[in-house]
A and B are shown apart, each in its own frame.
Chain A
């Protein structure tokens, strides 16, 4: 079978293996776009992987004044965990510590989702110590919690979806660190345009992909040695000799379709400058297909 190439870059015939997650979206608004961003960045900090952060979170997109419930600039944030209880805890803690505390902020539901809802203002209202006020506008309940700069307005509940998917990924191989970084940066920008997805790692890129387990007891994940260029000669490597750097883009989404769309956008952005830039292969990470029910075959996505 002929090798699949896009602009001279080899698309390895494999698949990204991804897992079911529980996800939600909230909308943060503030007096200025800068303050909405600060609040959202703080709330989604230390949320790259559920392995040690408890949640995976990121900014989905910036919202104009016309798109927010209170007519102020805003940011849509996505938050994912492995189950609804953990999501509730992470949501309460992150909104409570990072959004409630941020000057002039307000927080609204961003997802209708399923019948079961997550508490938002419904749990944070107790910060008001009895001075909080409930308001129902258009059938939706909001809480007005008195704070030192006026009031924190927060919607009572937000929706969740159990159809979210975590761990969609692309592995980018290239002849130089600079080329791979440039291509991945482009891909993250392209993925940011796709609705319902985030790339939770720093700048959307992971340089330390992991494998399950370790030689050390108690270490649940360790470096993906098959993709470490410096170990090519010492381990059962998956890298051609000419590859100097590998970077991964991990994608979480509210649905499997959103992940597919994001991977498509990412692959085409990576390949935009062609093989001349230095990118040689695009592949994906999986565990043989036995762990995650979602398999995103690169060939189908590119096709």
Chain B
């Protein structure tokens, strides 16, 4: 059975709320019923059929084609199945996601993977601010799962993150890992100011030495970390070849709060 596909007919004149287009809600619906689902966010009524050409049948595999930054909440609360986005996505992609997989060929807006608790999100290009951070109305950021970002991430990446792993291939903005509770951020390139601000626990792994390290992070020196080898081996199993080695300089912090978090700056 072919994937259920949504081809965007043209740039919509309002932002779209696509949170209803997840496998759990589409299962058992006919094409006509799907096309009648409301996705508008203004007083002007807009349905799936107005904005998308729908084809295919398998509601466990969804495919969005030609979407742009006005397509919000793709895969929000996803509890299983697979979503492929052949285009860009707006805000809240995969927010509150519990299980399953989302792949995005382009870039995503703010709050990507916010407060997600499981599953895997792979974004090939950039993500906006507050990715893996706190969804509106929630108390914690990402609570589990695995996110890979091929490009850059905006500010407040992993804010109040509780668990999970985020890998950023490009640069990350200011306040990466801000007020982090636990979990791991692996940052392959540059990072902005105030990384780890208010971090209680959790790990920020830097492949490049950050230009600014908060004075409330205490230097513990260079040593061996078998955890890095474990992570490297696991990432390789996921198809990501990232050479972490086993040595890193450890900074513990943020000493302004609990101080049991860490920055691991890889030692080459």
A residues with a Cβ closer than 8 A to B are 29, 68-72, 104, 106, 131, 133-138, 142, 144, 149-151, 153
Contact = CB atoms under 8 A, between A and B. Distances in A.
B216 interface: no
Contact of A153 (B182, B223, B227, B232): B227
Contacts of B27: none
A135 B184 contact: yes
Centre residue among B223, B229, B232 by max chain A CB count within 10 A:
B229
Nearest to B238: A138
A136 B144 contact: yes
A225 B211 CA distance: 78
B230 interface: yes
Nearest to B228: A70
B230 A137 contact: yes
B226 A153 contact: yes
6 contacts: A135-B203, A137-B230, A138-B238, A144-B225, A149-B224, A151-B225
A142 B227 CA distance: 9
Contact of B229 (A70, A133, A136, A149): A70
A137 B163 CA distance: 10
Nearest to A131: B260
B201 A133 contact: yes
B230 A153 contact: yes
Nearest to B224: A150
B231 A106 contact: no
Given A133-B203, A135-B227, 13 more contacts: A69-B230, A70-B229, A71-B229, A104-B226, A133-B262, A136-B144, A136-B164, A137-B234, A138-B238, A150-B224, A150-B225, A151-B224, A151-B225
Centre residue among B164, B165, B230 by max chain A CB count within 10 A:
B230
B230 A142 contact: yes
Contact of A137 (B165, B201, B225): B165
B233 A71 contact: yes
B31 to A, nearest CB: 36
A151 B229 contact: no
A45 to B, nearest CB: 24
**Chain B contact residues (Cβ within 8 angstroms of A): what range?**
20 to 34
Interface of B is mostly: mixed
Nearest to B252: A131
A133 B260 contact: yes
Interface string B30-71: 000000000000000000000000000000000000000000
Contact of A150 (B164, B223, B230, B233): B223
A72 B225 CA distance: 12
Contact of B231 (A104, A134, A137): A137
Contacts of B163: 136
Contacts of B203: 133, 135
A146 to B, nearest CB: 10
B224 A72 contact: no
A70 B230 contact: yes
Nearest to A154: B226
A134 B144 CA distance: 13
Nearest to B231: A137
B233 A144 contact: no
B70 to A, nearest CB: 35
A150 to B, nearest CB: 5
Contact of A104 (B165, B224, B234, B262): B224
A151 B247 CA distance: 12
A70 B226 CA distance: 7
Centre residue among B184, B233, B234 by max chain A CB count within 10 A:
B233
Contact of A151 (B226, B234, B237): B226
Nearest to A143: B227
B128 to A, nearest CB: 26
Contact of B227 (A68, A72, A149, A151): A151
Interface string B162-194: 011100000000000000001010000000000
Nearest to A66: B233
Contacts of A149: 224
A59 to B, nearest CB: 21
A120 to B, nearest CB: 14
Interface in B218-253: 223-227, 229-234, 237-238
Contacts of A138: 234, 237-238
A134 B182 contact: yes
A150 B182 CA distance: 21
B234 A106 contact: no
B140 to A, nearest CB: 15
A144 B203 CA distance: 12
B232 A71 contact: yes
Contacts of A151: 223-227
A106 B233 CA distance: 14
Contact of B233 (A70, A135, A142): A70
A70 B237 CA distance: 12
A104 B223 CA distance: 12
Interface string B135-167: 000000000100000000000000000011100
A62 B113 CA distance: 41
Contacts of B182: 134
A72 B224 CA distance: 13
